[in-house]
Every structure is written in structure tokens, then in C-alpha cells.
Amino acid sequence: MMLVLENNTDAASVARSVKMKWGDVPELGKYADLVLRVETDKLQHLQAMVRDFERDSATGGMIVDYVWADEGKEETGLLVLKGGDVVRRQAFVTTTRRAG
């Protein structure tokens, strides 16, 4: 499985537009560069995570989504299962549950 990710977030798109239209205004150009740098860093982190999931599932593993909850919190994310064991777990959303 090969997943291609591009830096096409809303924030990156806006930053590119700001840089094209108002890049000659120093403060706006610097801000657009900062936003693009942050978005690129997030994309690189996501790409590394995808590579790790692909590597860990390559030889008989399976990537599955999960929801886990107890009385205090709920967690949603991805697991790599191999031979019935969890070999990788990545939570994406964790929420605290209130009693009552």
C-alpha cells in the first residue's frame, strides 16, 4: 500500500495565496512562510507515521481502526495487529467523558 500525501491543507493553501498576493509585505511574507513550514512539518510527521504503519503491517499484519472507552475517557485511532498482538497503536482523538 502506497499512500501519497500532499501539503494541500486549507492553511497551506491560504498561506500560498497570501505569499503570491502579498509576499512583498515583509510581515505577511514571513507569516506565510511560517504557516507553510508548520504545515510541511506536520505532513512529514504524518508521512513518517504512515511509513511506520506500512512497515509494521507488511508481513502478515493488518491495520485496523479502533475505539476504546472506559469510565473516564474514549480513544479513537489505528492499530497494527499481527498474530493477535498489537504491534503499533496511534490514538488520534482522546476525549474525557463526564459522569452523569
**For residue 99, what pLDDT is reported?**
65
Q: What are the sequence ranges of the domains in the chain? A: 1-58, 61-100
Q: 10 Å Cβ neighbour count for 20?
A: 9
**For residue 80, what pLDDT is reported?**
95
**For residue 75, what pLDDT is reported?**
94
Alpha carbon distance 58, 25 (integer Å): 49
pLDDT, one tens digit for every residue, the chain (100 residues): 445 556 677 888 889 899 999 989 999 999 999 999 999 999 899 889 989 999 999 999 999 999 999 888 999 999 999 999 999 999 999 999 776 5
Q: Whole-prediction pTM value?
A: 0.68
Number of H helices, E strands in the chain: 2, 3
